[in-house]
């Protein structure tokens, strides 16, 4: 419970920045709270992440294909892809969609991006340019709470991991 309270407090502190980023990125979907939780997660994982990098990497919106943030670290040759929900559970259906989006949009370079929001399209195009150049992809599923994913969810991502180099 203490962790949840700390995360909630961090989310509250990040609300002004969430509002600012949503406005700057002209986000019509999502919410300030969702953006705040995404910012909290990114800051916890990357303590030195800048405001500019946050603005650039958060893709959460109505037509984001399940990609809430895509963060490329050029020096490390790593692509960090995030599915973030301010919820306690690991919803199998949502995560199956997210896994499908990774396969379709990241690894299938012939896949059209027509149905996606402009911001996520641009990030996916950046990822596609470097994914075959020995860049490592890390997938993060962030939830609020101590629930662990069920085996069926673990198996989804194990399959994804075993399918691609």
d(CA 65, CA 24): 20
Q: What is the dihedral of CA 101, 103, 106, 110, to 10 degrees?
A: -100
Strand (E) or helix (H) holding 78: strand 78-85
pLDDT tens figures, 14-50: 999 999 999 988 888 888 899 999 999 999 999 999 9
d(CA 115, CA 121): 9
pLDDT for 165 equals 66
Per the model's pLDDT, the better-predicted residue between 14 and 3 turns out to be 14
Check residue 134 and report its DSSP letter: T
Q: Is the pLDDT of residue 118 over 80?
A: yes
pLDDT tens figures, 88-101: 778 788 888 999 99
- Is residue 33 within 8 Å of residue 11, measured between CB atoms? yes
Q: 153 by DSSP, 3-state: which?
A: helix
Structure tokens at 13: 């502190």
Q: Is the pLDDT of residue 105 over 90?
A: yes
Specify which residues 70 forms β-bridges with: 81
- Is residue 29 within 8 Å of residue 51, measured between CB atoms? no
Structure tokens at 90: 């690991």
| C-alpha 29, offset from chain centre | 15
Q: Are strands 136-143 and 78-85 parallel, antiparallel or unpaired?
A: parallel
Report yes or no on whether pTM surpasses 0.85.
Answer: yes
């Amino acid at each position: 419970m203490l962790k949840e309270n700390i995360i909630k407090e961090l989310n509250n502190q990040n609300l002004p920045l969430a509002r600012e980023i949503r406005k700057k990125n002209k986000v019509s979907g999502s919410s300030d709270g969702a953006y705040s939780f995404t910012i909290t997660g990114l800051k916890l994982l990357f303590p030195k992440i800048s405001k500019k990098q946050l603005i650039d990497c958060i893709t959460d919106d109505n037509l984001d294909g399940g990609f809430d943030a895509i963060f490329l670290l050029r020096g490390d040759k790593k692509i960090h892809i995030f599915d973030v929900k301010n919820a306690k559970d690991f919803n199998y259906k949502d995560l199956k969609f997210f896994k499908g989006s990774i396969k379709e949009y990241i690894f299938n370079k012939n896949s059209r991006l027509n149905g996606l929001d402009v911001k996520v399209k641009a990030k996916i195009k950046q990822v596609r340019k470097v994914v075959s150049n020995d860049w490592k992809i890390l997938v993060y599923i962030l939830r609020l709470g101590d629930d662990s994913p069920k085996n069926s969810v673990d198996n989804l991502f194990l399959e994804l991991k075993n399918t691609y180099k």
